[in-house]
Amino acid sequence: MTRRKLLSLIPVAGCAPAYALGVEPNWLERTHTQVKLPCRNLTSGVRILHLSDFHASVVVPFSLIENSVEMGLDAKPDVICLTGDFVTDATPFDQVEYRRILRRLSSAAPVVACLGNHDGGIWSAKTGGLTDSSVVCGLLKAGNVSLLHNASEVVRVRDQAIRFAGVADLWSYTVNGDLAFAGASADNPAILLAHNPDAKDKLANRPWDLMLSGHTHGGQVVLPFLGERFVPIRDKRFVAGLKQWNGRQVYVTRGVGSIDGIRVNCRPEVTVLDLSS
């Protein structure tokens, strides 16, 4: 590289922090993915809006969360799944505003959810966050969101019964597959909501077809040659996107917010999944 070329890169390098902090974290991308459930006989396609990791905090404004909601609703989903990390820490937030945004979702379609590691529990308490999940549970209830905390619910979507099962966050050490799948039969398609994709191993013997997760933020900072810089999971194959796993499928969304408000080569994601047989 000549000296002149090297000097020409200085302004670009100088802009990088501004881009990583001010541009990319707010640059939502709506992705569309076809998910075929080969063992299921769906009479018509089902569209799922999957949002995760809102991380409402000083670095993730409600405007970003609301923009993700509106972008998702533009796709006219049949059902909406939220996979945890609604907040980042115990800092008080505007509950009225957050509730209003969640109600925007629940007024458009049924909304089911699970909790993330930041929403209260052993890990959250140990790291100075919420000591329990009462604040987030109250928020979800007020927003007409059905929290599936080691529980499941059958939702009728386009005249088809689909079971949605949700589990506690893996790092809370309270995942309970018996409760989450109580009464479940192998007859209905089943979608599992689990914040951390590593939960798949613990739930390998349960009757689910597709697992929806977040937690990784897609790696958040993805550098050339070095790859993802934020990978808080054991099974590093499940950082983002649709993956096949032992005859099942797992979708890990990059999520909407982040912990520190930085993203590089990893735009926040509004995920639309089209299920078919």
- 3-state SS record for the chain: CCHHHHHHHHHHHHHHHHHHHHHHHHCCEEEEEEEECCCCCCCCCEEEEEECCCCEECCECHHHHHHHHHHHHCCCCCEEEEECCCECCCCCCCHHHHHHHHHHHHCCCCEEEECCHHHCCHHHHHCCCCCCCHHHHHHHHHCCCEECCCEEEEEEECCEEEEEEECCCHHHCCCCHHHHCCCCCCCCCEEEECCCCCHHHHCCCCCCCEEEECCCHHHCEEECCCEECCCCCCCCCCCCEEEEECCEEEEECCCCCCCCCCCECCCCEEEEEEEEC
Q: Of the listed pieces 22-30, 82-90, 174-182, 265-273, which binds Fe ion according to CB under 5 A? A: 82-90
At 130, which amino acid appears? L
Residue 163 vs 263, nearer CB to Fe ion: 263
Nearer to Fe ion by Cβ, of 115 and 157: the residue is 115
Q: Give the range of 33-41, 57-65, 78-86, 107-115 binding Fe ion by CB under 5 A.
A: 78-86
Q: How far is the CB of 208 from Fe ion (least distance, A)?
A: 22
* Shortest Å, Cβ 1 to Fe ion: 38
Closest distance between Fe ion and the C-beta of residue 114, in Å? 12
| Min CB(63)–Fe ion separation in Å | 19
Which is nearer to Fe ion, 24 or 53 (by Cβ)?
A: 53
Task: Write out the binding residues for Fe ion, residues 83-142 only, by CB under 5 A.
Answer: 85
CB nearer to Fe ion: give 177 or 197: 197
Which residue, 72 or 84, is less far from Fe ion as judged by CB? 84
Count interface residues toward Fe ion (CB under 5 A). Answer: 2
Where does this chain touch Fe ion (CB under 5 A) — which range of 27-35, 46-54, 104-112, 182-190?
A: 46-54
**Distance of closest approach, residue 6 Cβ to Fe ion, in angstroms:** 38
Applying CB under 5 A, among 53, 78, 198, 209 the residue interacting with Fe ion is: 53
Q: Does 228 bind Fe ion (CB under 5 A)?
A: no
Structure tokens at 109: 């379609």
Q: Do residues 63 and 260 make contact, with C-beta atoms less than 8 angstroms apart?
A: no
Give the nearest residue (CB) to Fe ion.
85
Q: How far is the CB of 204 from Fe ion (least distance, A)?
A: 23
Nearest to 124 by CA among 81, 166, 174: 174
Binding interface with Fe ion (CB under 5 A): 53, 85
